[in-house]
Amino acid sequence: MIRCILFDVDDTLMDYHEAETAIFRRLFAEQGRAIDALALDDLWEKSWLYWNGRGLDRPGREDVRQTYHERSRQAVEDLCAYAREKYGLAASPAALGRRFAALMAEAVTLYDDALPALRALHGRFTLCAASNALTESQRPRLRSLEGLLDHVFLSEEMGLVKPDPAFFAHAARAAGARPDECLMVGDSLVSDIAGAASAGMHTCWLNRAGRAPSGGTLPESEIRSLRELVNLPLLSDSKKRRNLP
């Protein structure tokens, strides 16, 4: 029986692309510069380039997990250095990186299916957020979900980084559940699905884009929207089925 549901945050509950777009619009405006769709697309492409260049697409590697949050800050500074050079921003890369982090803390970009799903599940299960994002940005964003989330597990605070099974084992204990009483819901087959499965949790892949699974990791369940989660067979019985708008 499932007692606890853990949710990844970025690209699961919140739209990271929308958040980054809003941040660059504000950064450019604060620098007295305009930004158009082509520049935003360019910066989004470079965001992935610098993220992967810092090894953050391979969080299963021990060396990456040991320095994950430092690498995250470096990737943002790399991106800001590029934006400064390409688009003539005046502030230093370090200053732009700090402002980026501050604006991220304000970027509450919930998907339209997040609140309905959390509200429908609240009270039936212990609900948790489980994120590798930087504490200084992620914890303020998650205040928008106070009253719906029972626990927030941030890897920087825990000293454990997804997909380390120890992250999920620690979260289960803190939530008062066994791993086999927990369901992890997330968009990443590596960080969320493989990591949680290794810890003995049930898994549900949120596959918004309808991608084919890769890397040999198969989720226990797959959904395209959080609206589908409410009636997932693992969670539902005939008396508790809900239809979401």
- What is the identity of the amino acid at 26? R
* Sign, CA torsion 114/119/125/126: positive
- The SS3 assignment for 35 reads coil
pLDDT tens track, the chain, 245 positions = 999 999 999 999 999 999 999 999 999 999 999 999 999 999 999 999 999 999 999 999 999 999 999 999 999 999 999 999 999 998 999 999 999 999 999 999 999 999 999 999 999 999 999 999 999 999 999 999 999 999 999 999 999 999 999 999 999 999 999 999 999 999 999 999 999 999 999 999 999 998 888 777 789 999 999 999 999 999 975 344 444 55
Residue 158: name the closest of 168, 149, 148 by CA: 168
Q: Which pLDDT does position 237 carry in this prediction?
A: 53
Q: Which pLDDT does position 242 carry in this prediction?
A: 46
pTM check: above 0.85: yes
Residue 220: name the closest of 242, 198, 244 by CA: 198
- The SS3 assignment for 83 reads helix
